[in-house]
């Protein structure tokens, strides 16, 4: 009996030691799993607060830190500075060298930015090629300027990747707590406004925020908001400036020039709102409206028995690069019933020269239809003469700046003479823009310039006044 008990005991003990062993193993595995889970949780947390590419804090973490730092600064009555940084021309690098190299550059730039600040400061990636820095508890604005200068010199150092040497500059905007804003969102907004000003100043520089910048940005914002509804509210209008043929003295064409009659700001120049419309993408809708309205007016002139003249419309660079341009023009011509010989398109020299093979393809198609092509603001866009020869262009418009002071201004006189000579030799006609004085006119006549357009002959007119002028001219 004693033996049996002993055996039973041993079996039990054996069993329990296996059990123990098992549960020990289970405990170890569980521990390991907990560690792994903890690691995964940490990674997840890091990813939620950091940018995957550069490893820098992301917007969320930046926001949290800025809130904390500002609270501290209020308590301790210290200054804080925000630096908004945007790389200049980074999009071009990405487009030409590819995203892989673009990403590599962003990583290098992040490291360089980190090396320009103290441990207690924060640099975060705002997205794309935008970064933002918090300088914690600074003594005065000079400290922020010193850091900005350090960044400018550090980022510009050449980068050597895949046998390409890249040099990138950046633009920096600086705002200061408490003088430029009391809240996190205001300080960031003001640093960004100052950064945009630095871009405007020619890039590769820094700007300290000041109040007048805010007024400008507000005006821009107001314009941008109103631009969305201005077409529906019928606030745009087209004026037409005649082009006079110097050989036969007839008005053979007009240029459509847009005007915006803003309900509170009054008449706004296209030089102010066309770039805004381009930036916001509204140019497509606006450009279509211009083309449609000009075609309706041109057609109604023909219907009223006026001799047909050509209506030219300005195309912005974005419109010209739109794949559906040809389709859109065709649709408008069909809808309005205007014969294509009565339409002209003015495209700026800089826009024409951007992607010459695309330009040639599009212009050929338009020209085949009978639409006349004008190259606008000629002389300002660094044309390659060998390309100019290949482009299907009918008319060159000499930029107004080259006619200032002619014939007394010797330099402008030689430039404008050379342009007329060049155009004629390439089989193109010439329009001189912005002719204001009889002396300019007689010089242009002597150079056999084909057309003039300018205040000397007529300012841009509304449609009814244009008809009166045309009637007067038909009577001569």
Q: Tell me the residue number closest to Mg ion, measured at CB.
A: 346
Minimum Å gap between C-beta 255 and Mg ion is 5
What track of x and - describes contact with ligand C2E for positions 228 through 247 (by CB under 6 A)?
-------------x------
Angle at 315 between CA 225 and CA 318, to 5 degrees: 60
- The encoded tokens of residue 283 equal 């140019």
Task: Based on the shown chain and the rule CB under 6 A, indicate whether residue 314 belongs to the binding site for ligand C2E.
Answer: yes
Minimum Å gap between C-beta 459 and ligand C2E is 7
- The encoded tokens of residue 379 equal 């002389």
Minimum Å gap between C-beta 132 and Mg ion is 40
Choices 8-16, 190-198, 219-227, 432-440; region in contact with Mg ion by CB under 5 A: 432-440
Task: Based on the shown chain and the rule CB under 6 A, indicate whether residue 434 belongs to the binding site for ligand C2E.
Answer: yes
Choices 42-50, 66-74, 431-439, 464-472; region in contact with ligand C2E by CB under 6 A: 431-439
Task: Based on the shown chain and the rule CB under 6 A, indicate whether residue 70 belongs to the binding site for ligand C2E.
Answer: no
Task: Based on the shown chain and the rule CB under 5 A, indicate whether residue 453 belongs to the binding site for Mg ion.
Answer: no
**Residue 82 or 277 having the CB closest to ligand C2E:** 277
Binding residues for ligand C2E restricted to 153-172, rule: CB under 6 A: none
**Phi/psi of residue 373, nearest 5 degrees:** -110, 125
Minimum Å gap between C-beta 347 and ligand C2E is 9
The answer to whether 266 and 310 are in contact (CB under 8 A) is: no
**Phi/psi of residue 434, nearest 5 degrees:** 65, 40
Measured over the CA atoms of residue 62, residue 68, residue 72 and residue 77, the dihedral's sign is positive
| N residues, the chain | 476
Sole binder of ligand C2E in the list 115, 225, 269, 446 (CB under 6 A): 269
Q: Kindly state the number of chain residues that form the binding site for ligand C2E, as judged by CB under 6 A.
A: 24
Minimum Å gap between C-beta 87 and Mg ion is 32
Choices 171-179, 242-250, 311-319, 323-331; region in contact with ligand C2E by CB under 6 A: 311-319
The answer to whether 430 and 452 are in contact (CB under 8 A) is: no
> Tokens 């990813």 correspond to what residue?
47
Contacting residues for 266 by C-beta, under 8 A, at least 6 apart = none
CA distances from 121 to 21, 341, 404 (A): 52, 65, 53
Sole binder of ligand C2E in the list 148, 180, 433, 466 (CB under 6 A): 433
Residue 123 bridge partners (DSSP) = 133
Task: Based on the shown chain and the rule CB under 6 A, indicate whether residue 267 belongs to the binding site for ligand C2E.
Answer: no
Q: Tell me the residue number closest to ligand C2E, measured at CB.
A: 454
**Residue 168 or 257 having the CB closest to ligand C2E:** 257
Task: Based on the shown chain and the rule CB under 5 A, indicate whether residue 376 belongs to the binding site for Mg ion.
Answer: yes
Strand 395-398 relative to strand 372-378: parallel, antiparallel, unpaired?
A: parallel
Minimum Å gap between C-beta 405 and ligand C2E is 13
Sole binder of ligand C2E in the list 51, 88, 121, 346 (CB under 6 A): 346
The answer to whether 171 and 191 are in contact (CB under 8 A) is: no
Minimum Å gap between C-beta 268 and ligand C2E is 10
What kind and span of H or E run contains 261?
strand 251-262
**Phi/psi of residue 116, nearest 5 degrees:** -90, -10
The answer to whether 168 and 159 are in contact (CB under 8 A) is: yes
CA distances from 453 to 114, 400, 423, 476 (A): 56, 10, 17, 19
Nearest alpha carbon to residue 340 among 314, 315, 303, 372: 372
Binding residues for Mg ion restricted to 292-321, rule: CB under 5 A: 314
Quick one: what does residue 455 bind among Mg ion, ligand C2E, none, with the CB cut-off 5 to 8 Å set by partner type? Answer: ligand C2E
The answer to whether 472 and 441 are in contact (CB under 8 A) is: no
> How far is residue 72's CA from residue 68's CA, in Å, rounded to a whole number?
6
Minimum Å gap between C-beta 314 and Mg ion is 5
- The encoded tokens of residue 395 equal 């008319």
**Phi/psi of residue 92, nearest 5 degrees:** -65, -40
Contacting residues for 224 by C-beta, under 8 A, at least 6 apart = 276, 280
**Residue 301 or 315 having the CB closest to ligand C2E:** 315
Sole binder of Mg ion in the list 346, 359, 398, 402 (CB under 5 A): 346
Task: Based on the shown chain and the rule CB under 6 A, indicate whether residue 208 belongs to the binding site for ligand C2E.
Answer: no
Quick one: what does residue 423 bind among Mg ion, ligand C2E, none, with the CB cut-off 5 to 8 Å set by partner type? Answer: none
Choices 190-198, 266-274, 297-305, 342-350; region in contact with Mg ion by CB under 5 A: 342-350
Report the b/e string of 349-359 with b at 16+ CB within 10 A: bebbbeeeeeb
Quick one: what does residue 344 bind among Mg ion, ligand C2E, none, with the CB cut-off 5 to 8 Å set by partner type? Answer: none
Nearest alpha carbon to residue 137 among 81, 180, 185, 208: 81
Task: Based on the shown chain and the rule CB under 6 A, indicate whether residue 270 belongs to the binding site for ligand C2E.
Answer: yes
Quick one: what does residue 270 bind among ligand C2E, Mg ion, none, with the CB cut-off 5 to 8 Å set by partner type? Answer: ligand C2E
Give the footprint of ligand C2E on this chain (CB under 6 A): 241, 256-258, 269-271, 274, 287, 290, 314-316, 346, 376-377, 400, 433-436, 454-455, 460
Give the footprint of Mg ion on this chain (CB under 5 A): 314, 346, 376-377, 433
């Amino acid at each position: 009996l004693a033996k049996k008990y002993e055996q039973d005991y041993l079996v039990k003990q054996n069993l329990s030691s296996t059990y123990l062993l098992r549960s020990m193993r289970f405990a170890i595995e569980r521990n390991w799993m907990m560690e792994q889970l903890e690691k995964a949780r940490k990674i997840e947390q890091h990813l939620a607060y950091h940018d995957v590419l550069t490893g820098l804090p992301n917007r969320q973490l930046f926001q949290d830190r800025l809130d904390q730092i500002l609270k501290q600064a209020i308590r301790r009555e210290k200054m804080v500075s925000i630096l908004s940084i945007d790389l200049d021309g980074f999009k071009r690098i990405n487009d030409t060298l590819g995203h892989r190299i673009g990403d590599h550059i962003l990583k290098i730039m992040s490291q360089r930015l980190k090396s320009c600040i103290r441990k207690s400061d924060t640099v975060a990636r705002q997205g794309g090629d935008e970064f933002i820095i918090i300088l914690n508890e600074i003594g005065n604005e000079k400290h922020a300027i010193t850091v900005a200068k350090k960044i400018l010199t550090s980022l510009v150092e050449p980068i050597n990747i895949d046998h390409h040497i890249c040099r990138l500059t950046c633009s920096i905007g600086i705002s200061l707590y408490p003088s430029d804003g009391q809240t996190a969102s205001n300080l960031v907004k003001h640093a960004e406004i100052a950064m945009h000003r630095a871009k405007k100043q020619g890039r590769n520089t820094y700007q300290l925020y000041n109040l007048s910048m805010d007024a400008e940005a507000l005006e821009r914002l107001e314009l941008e908001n109103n631009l969305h509804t201005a077409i529906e509210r019928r606030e745009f209008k087209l004026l037409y400036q005649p082009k006079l043929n110097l050989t036969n003295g007839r008005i053979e064409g007009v240029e459509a020039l847009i005007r915006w009659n803003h309900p509170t700001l009054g008449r706004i120049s296209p030089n102010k709102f066309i770039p805004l419309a381009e930036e916001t993408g509204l140019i497509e809708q606006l450009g279509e409206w211009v083309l449609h309205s000009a075609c309706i007016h041109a057609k109604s002139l023909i219907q009223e028995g006026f001799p047909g003249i050509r209506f030219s419309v300005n195309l912005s660079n974005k419109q010209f690069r739109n794949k559906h341009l040809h389709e859109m023009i065709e649709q408008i011509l069909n809808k309005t019933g205007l014969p294509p010989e009565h339409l002209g398109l003015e495209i700026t020299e800089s826009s024409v020269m951007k992607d010459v093979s695309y330009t040639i393809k599009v212009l050929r198609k338009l020209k085949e239809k009978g639409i006349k092509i004008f190259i606008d603001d000629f002389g300002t866009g660094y044309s390659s003469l060998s390309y100019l020869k290949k482009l299907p262009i009918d008319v060159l418009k000499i930029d107004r700046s080259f006619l200032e002071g002619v014939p007394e201004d010797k330099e402008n006189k030689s430039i404008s003479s050379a342009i007329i000579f060049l155009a004629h030799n390439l089989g193109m006609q010439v329009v001189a823009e912005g002719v204001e004085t009889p002396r300019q006119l007689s010089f242009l006549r002597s150079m056999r310039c084909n057309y003039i357009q300018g205040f000397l002959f007529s300012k841009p007119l509304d449609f009814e006044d244009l008809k009166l002028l045309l009637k007067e001219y038909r009577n001569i």
